[in-house]
Amino acid sequence: MHRFKTIYFPKKRVKSEHATRVNISIPPATDKNGWGESFLNKVFELSGVQVRSLLGDPMLDHLEEEASKEHRSLSNVILSLLYSKFEEGKFDNISSSSSNIKDNKGVGVTFSDSLRKSSFGWYPYVEGFSANYARDALLREVSKPLAVYDPFGGSGTTQLAASLLGIKSYYSELNPFMVKVCEAKVMSANWARNNFKIFKDNAEEYISQISRSNIEKLAKDVCLKSYSEAFPKRDFFEEEHLRHLLAALDIAKAYDTVNPHLGSIFSIACTANAVASSNMTRRADLRRRRPDEYKNRVVDVPKMIATTVRRMIDDVSGYPENSAETKLVSNDAKKIPDSYTEKFDFVLTSPPYLNGTNYFRNTKLELWLMSLIDSEKDLKKFRELTVTGGINDVSKKVNYEKFDSVEIVAGKLDLKSKDKRIPTMVRHYFSDMYEVMTGVYRSMKPEGKFLLDIGDSKFYGVHVPTHKLLLDVAEKIGFKLEHEHVLAKRMSRDKTELVQVELVFKKSALC
Ligand X SMILES: C[S@@+](CC[C@H](N)C(=O)[O-])C[C@H]1O[C@@H](n2cnc3c(N)ncnc32)[C@H](O)[C@@H]1O
Give the footprint of ligand X on this chain (CB under 6 A): 125, 127-129, 152, 154-155, 157, 172-175, 178, 332-334, 350, 352, 359, 385-387
Gap between the Cα atoms of 73 and 132, Å rounded: 8
Residue 201 Cβ, how far from ligand X at the closest point, in Å? 31
- Nearer residue to ligand X within complex by CB, 53 or 350: 350
The sheet carrying 326-330 orders its strands as 326-330, 168-172, 147-150, 344-349, 444-455, 497-506, 480-491
Q: How far is the CB of 157 from ligand X (least distance, A)?
A: 3
- In terms of C-beta density within 10 A (0-12 exposed, 13-18 middle, 19 or more buried), how is residue 142 classed? exposed
DSSP 8-state class, residue 184:
I
Count of other CB atoms within 10 angstroms of residue 276:
17
The Cα angle at residue 106 between residues 493 and 484, in degrees rounded to 5: 85
* Smallest separation, CB 75 to ligand X (Å): 19
| Least separation in angstroms between CB 417 and ligand X | 23
CB of 399 to ligand X, least distance (A): 17
| Closer to ligand X by Cβ: residue 46 or 464 | 464
Q: What whole-number distance in Å separates Cα of residue 328 and Cα of residue 151?
A: 10
Q: How far is the CB of 174 from ligand X (least distance, A)?
A: 4
Under a CB-based contact definition with an 8 Å cutoff, are residues 464 and 435 in contact? Answer: no
Least distance to ligand X, CB of residue 434, Å: 12
Cβ atoms of 161 and 168 within 8 Å: the answer is no
Question: Would you say 133 or 199 has its CB closer to ligand X?
Answer: 133
User: In whole angstroms, what is the distance from residue 50 CA to residue 99 CA?
Assistant: 8
- What is the length of the chain? 511
**CA 60/CA 252 separation, integer angstroms:** 34
Strand partners, 9: 20
Question: With respect to ligand X, which residue has the nearer C-beta, 78 or 433?
Answer: 433
Minimal distance in Å, beta carbon 223 to ligand X? 30
Question: Residues 6 or more apart from 159 whose CB is under 8 A from it?
Answer: 148, 150, 153, 169, 171, 182, 185, 186, 326
Judged by beta carbon, residue 76 or residue 155, the one nearer ligand X is 155
Nearer to ligand X, 157 or 323 (CB): 157
Residue in the shown chain whose Cβ atom is closest to ligand X: 154
Q: Apex CA 116: angle with CA 502 and CA 160, to 5°?
A: 55
List, in order, residues 6 or more apart from 389 with CB less than 8 Å away.
352, 353, 354, 355, 356, 357, 359, 425, 429
The nearer residue to ligand X, 345 or 453, going by C-beta atoms, is: 453
Q: Extract the runs of DSSP E, i.e. beta strands, from 272-311.
A: 280-282, 286-288
Least Å from the CB of residue 281 to ligand X: 19
Nearer to ligand X, 218 or 328 (CB): 328
Taking the complex as a whole, how short is the minimal distance between the CB of residue 200 and ligand X, in angstroms?
A: 27
Output 237 or 359, the one with its CB closest to ligand X. 359
Nearer to ligand X, 259 or 331 (CB): 331
Distances (CA, A) of 77 to 72, 73, 84, 93, 488: 7, 6, 11, 22, 21
